[in-house]
Structure 1
Amino acid sequence: MLFFLTAYLLLNGMLIWQDLRYGLLPDRLTCPLLWFGLAYACINDVDLLAHKVWGAIAGYTGFAAIYWSYRLVRGREGLGYGDVKFLAALGAWHGWEALSMLVFIAALSACIVVFVCLFTAKWRQIQQNPLPFGPFLAGAGLITGYQDLFSELINFQL
């Protein structure tokens, strides 16, 4: 179990770094995160596997619908497709029930950062460069799933 939790934290950390540095969430990191989440569900509790698979499906289809709707209306991306795959991976870890809270926390924290930047000199920088949403998704995943994920880690150490 410790292996999967370590993989979760490392892959999330690498995704945060990639998104902040390059503005991309590469498949070479999001796909293993998704598969590790499903494998963790298989090993930890097979009864929850259906919830985790539906979490991946709901995360993907929910953000894909937003991605394509915005692209059809505006003619450009408003959300990167890496964010779509990242939410699918988080859905595989946390299940479909946690997705609404996860997206709410991510969006709220992004809004707080933008609001703070309104009153600083960084506002022009945010207007010129898109705000990476991956770090907010990763943070929301940790906040949403800390009790489930880290109770395993605490029980492992005890």
Structure 2
Amino acid sequence: MWLEAWMPVLVTGVLGLLIGSFLNVVIYRLPKMLERQWAAECAEAMGQEAPDSEPFNILVPRSRCQKCGHQIRWYENIPVLSYVFLRGKCSACGTPISLRYPMVELATGLLFAWCGWRWGLTPTAATWCLFTALLVAMTLIDWDTTLLPDVLTLPLLWAGLIASALHWTQAPLADAVWGAVGGYMSLWLVYWGFKLATGKEGMGFGDFKLFAALGAWFGWQALVPIILMASVIGAIVGIGMKLMSSLREGGVVPFGPFLALGGITAMVLGPQAILRAVGL
């Protein structure tokens, strides 16, 4: 009886750990793949040979130590456990492995397990697991590069609309469509208002698409709670970084990670709980 009750949590949690390991590859390689693609397109436009001809994608080449080139064996790539057994170091050269790798795996596993606890082994749970996986990847890619790739934001948007049409989310399709429209247009207007007033760009177009995707998943009613939560988290992190003198050159802090965290908070607590938490 106990095992039957907790089976969805165990299955989704283990799946989340595995997906988290894959997300680490996506987070590291996708921006480099895009850079290579842009470089190749520029070279082609100028009639030159592409600078990088060796295959490089999510699957090729196999993962290896960035310091010594040691190829990661399968038993050195078990989520979380391998990091513990290796004591956070490369088995060949002893170079420290970033703690972020097991943290991404653990965070993804916990979020997947929560989806399994909330919705069981159902299409709805699988849908929200996809939602969390894409947001985890986008959070760290944007934090590292200030880039929100279309290859992630647009599938998230369409997945939200499709999930709504299939009744796998609570947002009716009409609310999801207007959520997507409202999410995109609201930040688009803020962007142009700020640019006309200051001559500077306050955010990227990827932020518009990510907010539109969140509107598609939760409906237009959730846009205000999500942007409020994102702003609060962003303000706390920004102030903390300023006090610790860890802001990047120019004081740039990407907004995408905070939008993503606002979306995850809305999934776990619900948009109305966010409004109650801020006294609205």
* TM-score normalised by length of structure 2: 0.49
- Give the Å deviation of 1:3: 3.0
**Larger Rg, first or second structure (1 or 2):** 2
Summarize deviations over 1:1-23 as a string: whole Å, max 9, x none.
23322221111111112101211
Q: CA deviation at 1:110?
A: 0.6
Is 1:52 aligned to residue 166 of structure 2? Answer: no
Question: Which structure exhibits the higher relative contact order, with contacts defined as CA atoms closer than 8 Å and separated by 6 or more residues?
Answer: 1
Gaps of 5+ in 2: 1-122, 271-280
Tell me how far 1:147 sits from its aligned partner.
4.8
Of 236, 242, 256, which residue of structure 2 is paired with 1:134? Answer: 256
Question: Which of residues 210, 216, 235 is equivalent to 1:92?
Answer: 216
Return the letter of the residue paired with 2:207: D
For 2:139, which of 16, 22, 27 is the aligned residue?
Answer: 16
* C-alpha contact 2:142 2:257 (8 A) present in aligned 1: yes
Q: Provide the alpha-carbon RMSD of the alignment.
A: 1.8
Shift of 1:70: 1.1
Counting only pairs closer than 5 Å after superposition, residues 23-38 of structure 1 correspond to structure 2 as 23-38=146-161
Residue by residue, what CA displacement relative to the aligned partner does 1:59-98 show, whole Å, maximum 9, x if unpaired? 0110000011111222221011110110000000011101
Partner of residue 114, structure 1: 238
Which whole-Å deviations, capped at 9, do the CAs of 1:8-61 have from their partners, x for residues lacking one? 111111111210121111111100000000111011169811011110000011
Mean alpha-carbon deviation: is it higher for 91-100 or for 113-122?
113-122
2:195 is equivalent to residue 68 of structure 1: no
Q: Tell me by how many angstroms 1:127 deviates.
A: 5.3
Contact kept in structure 1, 2:171 and 2:218, CA below 8 Å: no
Selected match of 1:143 from 262, 265, 276: 265
- Partners of 1:117 and 1:21 lie apart in 2 by 15
**Structure 1, unaligned stretches of length 5 or more?**
149-158
Aligned partner of residue 166 in structure 2, secondary structure? helix
